[in-house]
Chains A and B, each alone.
Chain A
Amino acid sequence: MNEFLQFLTEPIALRSLWACAVIGFANGFVSALVVLRRSSLQIGTISCALLPGIALAILLFGFMQLSILIGAVIAGLLVGLGSLFISRRGKADHDTALSILHTTAFALGYIILIRLGLQQKVDDWLFGNIMSMSDTDLWIAWATGALAITAITILYRPLLIFLFDPRAATAMGIPTRAYSYGIFTLIILVLVSSLQAVGAFLTLGLMVAPAATMYLLSDRASLMFWGGGLIGSGGSILAFFLSYPLGWHPGATIIVVLGCIFLLAWLFSPKYGLLRHHG
């Protein structure tokens, strides 16, 4: 226990704790978009598709935060929009195109990272390494989180109409195409900023579980955003404190904790829980 308290006084621990709070909140907040659009699996495939972007950025520019970030965003956009393009121009449906594109991209990224001699790093990209976060990483997480929350808060009313009833939104003159690209870009930005913490594989959990939990607890859309943020950051902080004494991988612990919170809500939610009192 003393050892743990000592560890907490170190800057790296403090930075990780901040990262948990910030990344958890940003992901939880944005997760409401994913849950309300019912597009979890699409986001999951796109998060894995970020890998080749990261690998190519390292290949071309070396380890530079910004180039890695931009590489990941470009890869995500290419796979996301590419799958749309393929499904619109051919017989294959969108899910099929997305599955093939994202696994191909993922495999390519893996080959490049191995060829670059970054075997050790691969684990970090897949599962995250919150202890390796630099101040720059933390700042990027802050900035993307703030951008996402500000944009969503300002556009909240039209956004909700768009999420609920896209056709009526178009009929009301809301630029729905711009909204869907905007949402997509925002999600990719937040995904990328959380890669360091939870990695490309696990980031889907952080991007879905918080709002999904709120969805079981409340009938208010605004609570899915803010409550999702609180669950995301609270769960991540809790996981941070659990992972050290247990000796568990921090990123994986975050996902396990959020998964458990979701299960608890699924079982015990007063309104929609499996074990609620009937009557």
Chain B
Amino acid sequence: MVTEHDHICWGGGHHHCGGHTLAVEGICAAYGKNEVLTNISFKASCGQTLALIGPNGAGKSTLLNLLAGLMPPTDGSMKWNDTPLQAARHETAFMPQRTEVNWAFPITVRELVEMGRYPSTGIWKRLQHHDTEIVEKALHTLDLTNLQHRQIGALSGGQQQRAFLARALAQEAHILLLDEPFTGLDVPGMESLGELLRTLTAEGRLIIASHHDLSTAAQIFDQALLLNGRTIAYGATTDVLNEQNLLTAFGKRHITVAP
């Protein structure tokens, strides 16, 4: 079946009828009695890059956590192709913030990417030939083949991000959830990661990332969800990031958007 977004979906091998759409409806989240997200709704499809933008404490990370299944919503529904997202765990891959990763952990790039095969193989099955091929393809796609035997701490910031993206590719997930992927990268690193994300979406993935840099958001992401505990605006990034919306989200402290 041909979907409205004409793209080739890389890998997966899962058949989807009715397109590749993530539909989030009225979700709420709370830590204890503190409600941090209220009534968030949006629809996003394969082939899109969606930025989650908002001030600190706006609930960007919480929203990613909800989508990744790290915490349950207190209300609302999340559906991937009309089935609950919770039942399609293999379809989401999560990439942590760089500062949260223990870079001294004794694993190589290849071992990190191989972790992505776990949801498919489970506890009892070893990696098959098929899995090895997928791992190698992911390494190749992200230009990490020559670095595959390096310990992950011995990589540059951009290479580290690519290694985690390679794990997400090896997982063959359609939805990539990235927590502040651009933080701490230098300008060339940011540019090449941005280009990479566009390539990955063109291949049929949906990328959702929290992002704090307003000046680069429009270059990297085609959709944006501006939030501050609730939805302030959702749509094309350039439309969403207008003066009025930013004032609502950030108050007076907001940083002006670079031309």
Contact = CB atoms under 8 A, between A and B. Distances in A.
Nearest to B32: A88
Nearest to B86: A173
A219 B106 contact: yes
Contacts, number: 70
Contacts of B119: 172-173
Contact of A154 (B70, B92, B118, B123): B123
Interface in B93-139: 93-96, 100-102, 105-108, 111-112, 115, 118-119, 121, 123
A167 B106 contact: no
Given A160-B115, A171-B93, A221 B69 contact: no
B7 interface: no
Contacts of B177: 171
Contacts of A220: 106-108
A159 to B, nearest CB: 10
Given A171-B70, A172-B119, A219-B151, A164 B94 contact: no
A157 interface: yes
Interface of A is mostly: helix
Interface of B is mostly: mixed
Contact of B123 (A38, A158, A167, A168): A158
Interface string B163-177: 000010001000001
A277 B123 CA distance: 41
B60 to A, nearest CB: 15
B23 interface: no
B147 to A, nearest CB: 13
Q: Which of A165, A168, A218: most chain B CB closer than 10 A? A: A168
5 contacts: A168-B95, A168-B115, A168-B167, A171-B68, A219-B151
Interface of A: 36, 38, 154-155, 157-158, 160-161, 163-165, 167-168, 170-174, 215, 218-221, 223-224
* Nearest 8 Cβ contacts at the A-B interface: A171-B94, A171-B68, A219-B151, A173-B89, A221-B106, A172-B119, A219-B106, A168-B94
